[in-house]
């Protein structure tokens, strides 16, 4: 298992411990967790005129997976890029990977 990666933003927190990605506070009243073996996709949205940058982890068998929305500055942070890249590298079942 790798070292824990934690990204604290103005709207919530994303963590990854090498096996489980978890989001806290991004529009839900409870944490949302998913094991990397269950991940089917990672959608990174750069945002636009009417939407904020975000990341969504698509999970087999779960209607809602971990997700986060960010400011433009937070979305461009090396910490967030590292978390997404590390999850992507650890997830064996990503579609299109």
pLDDT, tens digit, 9 for 90 and up, residues 50-92: 999 999 999 998 899 999 999 999 999 999 999 999 999 999 9
Q: What is the pTM of this model?
A: 0.91
pLDDT band at 1 (very low <50, low <70, confident <90, very high): very low
The phi and psi torsions of 67 (rounded to 5 degrees) equal -160, 165
Give the CATH number for residue 10: 2.30.29
Q: Which residue has the higher pLDDT, 97 or 48?
A: 48
Neighbour tally for 74: CB within 10 Å = 18
Domain assignment present for residue 96? The answer is no
Taking a C-beta distance cutoff of 8 angstroms, is the pair 14, 23 a contact? yes
Residue 97 lies in a domain: no
In a domain, 32, yes or no: yes
How confident is the model at residue 83, as a pLDDT? 98
Residue 36 lies in a domain: yes
Give the whole-angstrom CA distance, residue 84 versus residue 21.
Answer: 10
Q: What is the pLDDT of residue 26?
A: 87
User: Is 95 inside any structural domain?
Assistant: no
Which residue segment(s) compose the domain that 76 sits in? 5-90
Give me the number of domains the chain comprises. Answer: 1
Would you say residue 76 lies in a domain?
yes
């Amino acid at each position: 298992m790798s070292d824990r990666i934690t990204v604290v933003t103005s709207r919530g927190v994303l963590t990854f411990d090498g096996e489980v990605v978890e989001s806290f506070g991004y529009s839900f009243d409870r944490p949302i967790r998913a094991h990397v073996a269950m991940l089917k996709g990672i959608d990174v949205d750069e945002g636009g005129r009417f939407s904020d940058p975000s990341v969504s982890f698509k999970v087999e068998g779960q209607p809602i997976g971990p997700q986060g929305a960010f400011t433009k500055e937070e979305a461009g942070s090396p910490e967030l890029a590292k978390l997404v890249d590390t999850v992507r590298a650890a997830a064996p079942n990503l579609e299109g990977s």
